[in-house]
């Protein structure tokens, strides 16, 4: 569904990742890490650099044939447009562009959110605008749904509703989803894959369950730490207090505590982290 190699654009530096059809990708990163740049590049709004290989739905973004354009749904960080129209008027304007517009589904989403359909869109709250934007992006059942912090302005109830709708829709249609969010527990729930961008590079990328099982935090004591060759364990974000060391590493399905002890590290303690803690460790 998405193939990305050596992508450089604004904030991105040689970014690589793949996303198979039917997966849900959770996109994580600090503000300014390059999430929105990536999303806008996937949508064809940014130029792709020489030497990069980027395919979305089998084409370079922007080069899609007409019929594929309706296969992508997009919820931007901030919804703009249709200011002077009501929700019903805006839907009547947008609907003719999409062959697969699903009236019943759109009605269901609107009803679940309880959006006031007679009010001009410029008078809606930020959260309501975001909900309406979600309805517009999902109503034609796109094959690829790209969401740039879709829940940032939503209250906890509306957020939970959205997550439920997203999963229901995914179960029904197998939609592939790219979901940027700062709410790690949402990503933990719904994502099959995760991509964590730091300073334009992919720090973590791949199957979420594998990452959760294998990327572990190690605490240990060692005075000659620098002399050890830990490269096979791909250590990340090493920090040190006296002889106490802390780092993340890839256990690759093995008994990492035993392997590190055999390497000469002492008092090795291994712990599994949730996404939020991983995120914090990688930005410490």
Taking CB under 8 A as the binding criterion, the range among 37-45, 98-106, 119-127, 271-279 that sits at the site for other proteins is: 271-279
Q: For residues 15 and 134, which CB has a smaller minimum distance to other proteins in the complex? A: 134
Residue 280 C-beta: closest distance to other proteins, Å: 13
From 3, 69, 108, 212, residue interacting with other proteins (rule: CB under 8 A): 212
CB atoms within 10 A of CB 54: 20
In whole angstroms, what is the distance from residue 44 CA to residue 37 CA? 11
Residues 158-197 binding other proteins (CB under 8 A) are 160, 163-164, 167-168, 170-171, 184-186, 188-192
In whole angstroms, what is the distance from residue 255 CA to residue 274 CA? 19
Residue 215 C-beta: closest distance to other proteins, Å: 11
In whole angstroms, what is the distance from residue 171 CA to residue 107 CA? 19
SS3 of residue 268 by DSSP: strand
Structure tokens at 105: 């589904």
| Concatenated DSSP letters of 203-253 | EEEEEHHHHHHHEEEEEEE-TTGGGS--GGG--EEEEEETTEEEEEEE-TT
Q: C-alpha angle 93/98/99, rounded to 5°? A: 130
Quick check: 244 binds other proteins (CB under 8 A)?
A: no
Residue 23 C-beta: closest distance to other proteins, Å: 8
Quick check: 267 binds other proteins (CB under 8 A)?
A: no
Taking CB under 8 A as the binding criterion, the range among 34-42, 89-97, 144-152, 272-280 that sits at the site for other proteins is: 272-280
Q: For residues 15 and 191, which CB has a smaller minimum distance to other proteins in the complex? A: 191
Closest C-alpha to 24, from 193, 154, 162:
193
Q: Which residues bind other proteins (CB under 8 A)?
A: 23-24, 160, 163-164, 167-168, 170-171, 184-186, 188-192, 208-209, 212-213, 271-274, 276-277
């Amino acid at each position: 569904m998405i193939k990305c190699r050596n992508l450089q654009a604004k904030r991105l530096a040689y970014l690589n990742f793949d996303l198979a059809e039917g997966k849900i990708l959770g996109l994580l990163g600090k503000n300014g890490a390059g999430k929105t740049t990536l999303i806008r590049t996937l949508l064809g709004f940014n130029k792709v650099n020489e030497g990069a290989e980027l395919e979305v739905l089998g084409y370079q973004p922007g080069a899609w044939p007409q019929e594929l354009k309706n296969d992508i749904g997009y919820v931007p960080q901030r919804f703009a447009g249709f200011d002077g129209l009501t929700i019903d008027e805006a839907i009547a304007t947008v609907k003719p562009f999409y062959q697969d517009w699903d009236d019943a589904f759109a009605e269901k989403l609107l009803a679940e959110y309880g959006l006031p359909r007679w009010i001009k869109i410029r008078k809606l709250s930020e959260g309501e605008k975001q909900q309406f934007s979600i309805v517009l992006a999902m109503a034609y059942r796109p094959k690829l749904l790209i969401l740039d912090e879709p829940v940032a302005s939503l209250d906890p109830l509306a957020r939970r509703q959205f997550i439920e709708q997203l999963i229901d829709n995914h179960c029904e249609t197998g939609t592939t989803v790219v979901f940027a969010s700062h709410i790690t527990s949402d990503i933990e729930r719904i994502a099959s894959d995760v991509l964590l961008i730091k300073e334009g590079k992919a720090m973590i990328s791949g199957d979420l369950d594998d990452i959760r099982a294998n990327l572990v935090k190690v605490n240990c004591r060692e005075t000659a730490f620098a002399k050890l060759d830990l490269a096979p364990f791909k250590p990340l974000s090493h920090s040190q207090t006296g002889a106490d060391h802390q780092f993340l590493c890839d256990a690759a399905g093995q008994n990492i505590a035993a392997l590190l002890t055999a390497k000469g590290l002492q008092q090795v303690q291994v712990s599994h982290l949730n996404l939020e803690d991983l995120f914090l460790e990688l930005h410490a």
